[in-house]
Amino acid sequence: MTSVAPAVRNRRRTALAVVLCAGLTAALTACAGEDPDKGTNGVGRLPAAEIETKTRTAADAADAVRLAGKLVSKGGTYTLDMQLNEEGGTGSVTSGKSTFVLLRVGDELFLKADSAFWNHEESDQGSAADREAAEKLDGKYVKVPEGDPTYKQLRGFTDKEILLDGLLSLHGKVSKGDRDTVSGLRTIQIYGGKGEGGALDVALEGKPYPVRFARGGGGGTVRLRDWNKPFVLEAPAEDDTVDYGGQLPKSSG
């Protein structure tokens, strides 16, 4: 009798160890094999080039978007907060010490700024006339003539196609980066080159819209949201509008 009991106890311990090890192995296997794309739109499983194609397709098909952030270029640093759709756009642009509002409806482009934007305090000639003109333009929408040299540049800030083409272009071989959460959405990052070609965070929830773009070389970061969220564009009232005809007055911006 005494010789049997230890053997029984040993078998019980062995069986218990097997059960515990099996349970631990199953738990570890489940954790290791958990699908990071479970519950997503699935683009995270795709190669980087396919993710880029899908996010560009989704962005191009969207009727509207809002983008906000900073862009750095040879022409200066611009801080944008713009709503864009197929008809035009509206929002604010800051360049240097100047902030102004842009509104475009079709081909009609308007600029609104305070008197400081129009006032030439550094000018020795015509300063009184400048101040008087600036006061009249303060808070008014000034129609930008299509023949004005600044029309094309300013219009670009209100053009969905132009801005997205510039923002969503990655340079160099496109690779996949890390997963993240941007503006409350799970994302997958793709980037050009080793990052110097730009980095784009693509939504893993809903449609694969781009939600953040970082330009290479410290060229600024912009967030994109309110995809397909409608908004109304209306030309300003005549009482709030100044039409200079052929060319805008010079500004201090």
Structure tokens at 86: 């197929």
Cβ-contact 109, 143 below 8 angstroms: yes
Per-residue pLDDT of 18-76, as tens digits, reads 445 455 444 444 455 678 888 999 999 999 999 999 999 999 999 999 999 999 988 78
Q: pTM higher than 0.95, yes or no? A: no
Angstrom distance (rounded) from CA 215 to CA 199: 7
Domain coordinates in residue numbering, the chain: 44-243
Nearest Cα residue to 102 out of 73, 63, 56, 141: 141
Task: Name the average pLDDT for the chain.
Answer: 84
CATH class of the domain comprising 44-243: mainly beta
pLDDT for res 10: 52
Angstrom distance (rounded) from CA 119 to CA 133: 8
Nearest Cα residue to 198 out of 223, 224, 176, 172: 172
Q: 160 Cβ partners below 8 Å, 6+ apart? A: 64, 65, 84, 85, 86, 89
Q: 112 Cβ partners below 8 Å, 6+ apart? A: 100, 101, 102, 103, 139, 140, 141, 142, 236
Per-residue pLDDT of 192-207, as tens digits, reads 998 899 999 999 999 9
